[in-house]
Amino acid sequence: MSSTSPLLSLPGAVPAEGRDEGVAAHYGDLFREQRSLADGKGFVDLSHRGVVTVSGEERLSWLHLLLTQHVTDLSPGQATEALILSAHGHIEHALYLVDDGETVWAHVEPGTREALIGYLESMKFFYKAEVADRTDDFAVVHLPAGSIAEVPEGVVVRETAHGRDLFLPRADLESFGAAAGPAVGILAYEALRVESHRPRLGFETDHRTIPHELGWIGSAVHLQKGCYRGQETVARVHNLGKPPRRLVFLHLDGSEVHLPPPGTPVRLASEGAEGRQLGFVTTSARHYELGPIALALVKRNVPVDAELLAGDTAAAQETVVEP
């Protein structure tokens, strides 16, 4: 697979860096691109994400044993998301799933598919299920909610309240982009993700993150099923109601020129920049209406009405996960 998307040749395309390397950060006008998405127009090139499929008559019953989500009775076309946890309940993988009646399709974070496939293959045993890496053949493209763009016949679609993810043949990426425009960069997509408080693996997670801290209980973790690795931690923390950290949404001081990068310490404003570190910024963005915003992970006991500092930047918090 090419390391860069062919859509980077579109006018104005500026390559993304870091984890999203390989697609466009933006196409010359970040706020216009955000407005397009919010209005249900345009598309986002997510072709740097991994595509993994599981086929076979026992695919759903087998995946049900491994994932945090209840998928035994997943109906064709029904979208869901699921996690794979460590034995201690820490998040290792996030999968965005849909079943087409014969095959489960999932897209995953860049750079994670090989480890995911390795784990799945190690757990197959005697089950009738076949795991495949389809990243070379299929590219993920996102259409926002309300989009009237035509989806090519035969393309698998994963539809949620936030829009539709298409598993598009990679060879058709350029022709689809020409028809579905305008192209929207990953920075605009990320700004709307932060606005809607949606966590992302590798951004809102670290080596010890558990699902409760990010609000993934319900959307990605089904509390009425068992038989998956890490279930004991999920049940214990749910019953005690005391995850060690919680996700918050931050409205950042708009007078600052620079956004606080991921990892920036979060402290109480009353204690100043030399106070105790109570958390850290996970993702920051510039929003076309809200201005500078961020997600952060803070200790559970941080007061929900406390004014915070993200580095040197004043920040007002909104609760995402209740303490």
Q: What is the pLDDT of residues 241-299, one digit of tens each?
A: 889 999 999 999 987 778 999 999 999 999 988 899 999 999 999 999 999 999 999 99
Give residue 255's pLDDT: 77
Does residue 3 register a pLDDT over 80?
Answer: no
What secondary structure does DSSP assign to 84-95, as a single string?
A: EE-TTS-EEEEE
Give residue 152's pLDDT: 95
Give residue 147's pLDDT: 95
Does residue 158 register a pLDDT over 90?
Answer: yes
Q: What is the pTM of this model?
A: 0.95
Give residue 32's pLDDT: 97
**1 pLDDT band (50/70/90 cuts)?**
very low
Is 213:247 a contact under the CB 8 Å cutoff? yes
Digit-coded pLDDT (tens) for 54-111: 999 999 999 999 999 999 999 999 999 999 999 999 999 999 999 999 999 999 999 9
In degrees to the nearest 10, what's the CA dihedral of 57, 59, 62, 64?
Answer: -120
Residues 6+ apart with CB under 8 A from 155: 166, 167, 168, 169
Sorted by where each starts, the structural domains of the chain and their CATH numbers stand as 6-49+137-196 (no CATH), 50-133 (3.30.70.1400), 244-322 (2.40.30.110)
Residues 6+ apart with CB under 8 A from 52: 95, 105, 106, 107, 108, 113, 116, 117, 120, 131, 132, 133, 134, 135
* Residue 8 per-residue DSSP state: G
